[in-house]
Amino acid sequence: MRQAALFVGLAFLLSWAAWGWAILTGSEASIWRIAGSYGPSLAAVILAAQAGELRCLLSGFARWRAPVWVWTFALLSTAVLGLAALGVDWLLGGRAEWLSPRVLVFAPVIFLWVLAFSVAGEETGWRGYLLPRLLERTGPLRASLVLGLVWALWHLPLWALPGDFHAAIPLSLFAAQTLGFSILYTWLWLQSEGSLIVVHLFHAASNTTLGLLPLIPGEGAGGTRPLWIAVGLLWLVAIGVARRLPGEGAPGR
């Protein structure tokens, strides 16, 4: 677990240094937000290179062989959950402005932007470096929850970052979302035999959904109810997935 602890410490240091500078200077420049997001992947590359394991770390990008349903789930599941949440919110009296054509027009552009300037900075670290090391010591569910907690804590400075949307989301809601997602990431990673491509696409699709659909207060939603509903639906899926994960006594791939 020493390497896992070193990774977490270095990832936090690199990310929080960039975000901390933006907070201290009151800068709203997106360059600091982007720079900080690269902390986990940069930490993973540094530690893997130091240990002579860089090729092993990056080998996850060469793993394309996954069932079609894995790719479909990675790309479309969060959009389905988001639309379902908005549908439920509408039935409860919420606003019905979520069928805007901009969703389809801007989705590919937002997806590619998020993939390049956010997701690429995280997943080589979280699922490429940390997850396999956690799975060496414990089962997939426990590893997912530990990683999810670390992942949620890593985001904390964003609540103080000028102009960042995280400030509109209750910490408890964000933590619940992150823990639920972490279970799905582990499941997809196992189903794809450690494909970093699959988890990158899933992360980008998830963030694109949150960016385009009015689920976040201040980003189109009138309150937190749509996001609470979405996270509730996410956990229904996560619980179903958790039942299919190997037992806690069966670590790793």
User: Tens digit of pLDDT for each residue in 183-215?
Assistant: 999 999 999 999 999 999 999 999 999 888 888
Mean pLDDT of the chain: 92
Specify the residue for token string 């196992």: 190
Give SS3 for 217: strand
* pLDDT for residue 219 is more than 70: no
The strand pairing partners of 221, in sequence order, are 217
pLDDT of residue 253: 45
* pLDDT for residue 8 is more than 60: yes
Q: Among positive and negative, which fits the CA dihedral 76, 82, 83, 84?
A: positive
pLDDT of residue 28: 75
Stronger pLDDT, 157 or 106, i.e. the higher one: 157
Give SS3 for 221: strand
* pLDDT for residue 9 is more than 70: yes
Q: How large is the C-alpha radius of gyration of the chain?
A: 18
pLDDT of residue 95: 74
pLDDT of residue 100: 62
What's the mean pLDDT in 57-68?
95
